[in-house]
Structure 1
Amino acid sequence: MPSNEVAGRALGKVYLIGAGPGAADLITVRGARILSQADVVLYDALVTEDMLALCPQADKISVGKRSGQRSTAQHVINEQLVACAKKYTLVVRLKGGDPMLFGRADEELRALEAAGIEVEIVPGITAALAAAASTRQPLTKRGIARSVAFFTSSTAPNHPEETTLPDCDTLIQYMGGKEAIATAQKLLAQGRSPALPVVVVENCSRENERVMRLSLGGLEQGLSGCQGPVLVMIGEAFAPRDSGRD
């Protein structure tokens, strides 16, 4: 039996689509087009109802994964994707942000490729770029910041937590709410100034977006009241501009 067939029927095609940071109109044109044609959509916890409204024709399966909360195990998601490709023609795996950045795309690609299933990836706007746009704070700035690092403290099961942080001008920590104190302490221990600017964005691009501006010393005191996904942006590039709105 050919690898792209099952029981005499051609296997479906799977699209890993980046939904973007939250707002439904920040998905790419290509992503929205394919979503409107999907037979089934397996979607993350951070995908909004407005985004799912773009695919009313599709069967929808929640495979939500949220840091620190009970969620669908990755191996189960992999199995669901393979099973859906055997049942449906056009399968969408809809991921918050971009599939290739902290999206566990490697594990899903491996599972699909091992089953002989065709896969295409549609990129999405990652939260860091949306947050930079929302706050009007570029991640790079001539003469001040020429390097950027995206990182997370979350690790795979049975893997030790990272004890060092990237050495870059601009640091962007995904899923950084619960790790705020530890992150600040590590940076201060490295010799970073307590006055280093910090911008925290919760629920980026959504109606309930919240922006907090503080210093590294203030970050060491922790973040309170955060319920949604949190992005922590650290560096001299986030100092308020001398003119215009901050």
Structure 2
Amino acid sequence: MQIKNPKLTVVGAGPGDVELFTLKGIRALESADVVLYDALVNPELLEYANNAELIFVGKRKGCYAYQQEQINDLIIARAKSHGHVVRLKGGDPFIFGRGAEEMEVAAAAGLEVAMVPGISSSLAVPAYQNIPLTKRGSSESFWVITGTTRHHKLSNDVKIAAQSSATVVILMGMSKLPEITQLFCESGKKDIPVAIIQNGTTPEERVAVGTIDSIQEEVEKLKLSNPAIIVIGEVVRNRAQLLNLQVELAQTS
């Protein structure tokens, strides 16, 4: 059997809802010989890879199936032995997803590389809760920040963002929630609305809404944990405003 030209395609799996996966992503999976997929990927997407070897390389509860260096080696080895490797990653691989790093390693090893963007959870998860990241009169811009850096520290960008009027979206930040709320309190924003959304866009989605001053209590009450997204800003009020309008309309109809 003739082996195809070795190729890596990094594909964004989106935030969780299968219907938010892209057509280009489907075509990549259909043509894959091997799929390396992460923990946050909806397993239903793997049904599109009918003819591929499926290898789980994700992280669950702090346990790694493979270290990053091992994943890099696996990409190269499988591409050279099988042909087309699809690296399926949650959200968008270029937003805190190491997609660019994996493509660089693959290209340096002589592989053809391609990238299929995914809908980032930083955008889609708030949207599913009717929270726009920008809204006229409420927010002119937004930050998307990782809650935990490679050194397991809170990003210094959170402190800078807390001093702005922009919407702030923090990924992978639940373990740093006390530090985050403290920074916003120090910036005089204890009354700013906050939404925390766990397992966004999936049937297991759960939401806590409060203010900087009260959100930790709400999180403890609902026992929310990762994977979750923290949304901070006046735009969070849009969720309740829209719901109230819908209730009023239902009552008058």
Output the TM-score relative to the length of structure 2: 0.86
The corresponding residue for 2:172 is: 175
The count of aligned residue pairs is 236
The corresponding residue for 1:223 is: 219
Describe how 1:102-117 pairs up with structure 2 within 5 A: 102-117=96-111
What value does the CA root-mean-square deviation take over the aligned residues? 2.1
Structure 1: distance between partners of 2:27 and 2:207: 32
> Which residue of 36, 39, 48 corresponds with 2:33?
39
> Which residue of 179, 191, 204 corresponds with 2:200?
204
> Which residue of 211, 235, 238 corresponds with 2:236?
238
Identity among equivalent pairs (%): 36
The corresponding residue for 2:75 is: 81
Structure 2: distance between partners of 1:31 and 1:123: 8
Secondary structure of residue in 1 paired with 2:241: coil
Segments of structure 2 that go 5 or more residues without pairing to the other structure are 248-253
Question: Is 1:204–1:210's contact at 8 Å kept on the other side of the alignment?
Answer: yes
Segments of structure 1 that go 5 or more residues without pairing to the other structure are 1-7
Q: CA deviation at 1:190?
A: 2.1
Structure 2: distance between partners of 1:55 and 1:9: 18
The answer to which structure has the higher helix fraction is 2
Describe how 1:88-237 pairs up with structure 2 within 5 A: 88-157=82-151, 161-165=154-158, 166-167=160-161, 168=164, 169-192=166-189, 194-221=190-217, 223-224=219-220, 225-237=223-235
Question: Is 2:21–2:118's contact at 8 Å kept on the other side of the alignment?
Answer: yes
Question: Is 1:181–1:221's contact at 8 Å kept on the other side of the alignment?
Answer: no
Structure 2: distance between partners of 1:117 and 1:53: 26
Q: CA deviation at 1:10?
A: 5.9
Output the TM-score relative to the length of structure 1: 0.88
Structure 1: distance between partners of 2:135 and 2:96: 25
Structure 2: distance between partners of 1:134 and 1:94: 22
